[in-house]
Amino acid sequence: MTPQGHTQLKEELRHLKDIERPRISHEIGVAREHGDLKENAEYHAAKDKQGFIEGRILDIEDKLARAEVIDVSILGGTKIKFGAFVKLEEAATGKVIEYRLVGPEEASVERGTISVTSPVARAMIGREVGDEVQVRAPGGVKAYEVLEIRWS
């Protein structure tokens, strides 16, 4: 996991424990005051939220306990590996995409990060600028050219 990913998980955990947990506890208390809990939709919705929050807290605590934080600022080189920012060009369309290879816990396509265990990342590991990367996708094999590798 990158230091940034570790920090994000710690911040999410703090938010869940310090803000969301007390808020949902208050919501449950208010819903309880409405009476009959069997048919109290607000109470059941709040209890469902509480279950989700508690599950997420346990999940994050587990991930943080098992995390190996790697300082990517000391990494470098000409080959793609964990922590690298990689710019690719899709051979068929010419579309340029950029990804950062990170741990599974911090991967988010919306943020441009992919897990080192994903098929795309596994196909890229060890490649250099100018290499062709072929990825098996549900729609067939996609080919990419590595345009750039950078570390920050």
pLDDT tens track for 99-145: 999 988 888 888 889 999 998 899 999 999 999 999 887 888 899 99
What is the pLDDT averaged over residues 8-33? 91
For position 58, what pLDDT does the model report? 94
Q: Per-residue pLDDT for 27 more than 70? A: yes
Q: Do 53 and 29 share a structural domain?
A: yes
Q: Do 50 and 77 share a structural domain?
A: no
Q: Do 83 and 57 share a structural domain?
A: no
What is the pLDDT averaged over residues 84-105? 92
Q: Do 77 and 50 share a structural domain?
A: no
Q: Which of 40, 66, 92 is the last residue of a domain?
A: 66
For position 53, what pLDDT does the model report? 94
Q: Do 79 and 34 share a structural domain?
A: no
For position 73, what pLDDT does the model report? 66
Structural domain of 121: 72-150
Q: Which of 26, 48, 66 is the last residue of a domain?
A: 66
For position 98, what pLDDT does the model report? 94
Q: Do 142 and 82 share a structural domain?
A: yes
Q: Do 84 and 25 share a structural domain?
A: no
For position 90, what pLDDT does the model report? 92
CATH (domain of 40): 1.10.287.180
| pTM of the entire predicted model | 0.66
Q: How many domains are contained in the chain?
A: 2
What would the pLDDT profile of 33-82 be if each residue is shown by its tens digit? Answer: 877 777 778 888 888 999 999 999 999 999 888 888 877 766 778 899 88
Q: Which of 25, 43, 66 is the last residue of a domain?
A: 66
**What b-and-e string marks burial along 1-17, b requiring 16 or more CB atoms within 10 Å of the CB?**
bbeebbebbeeebeebe
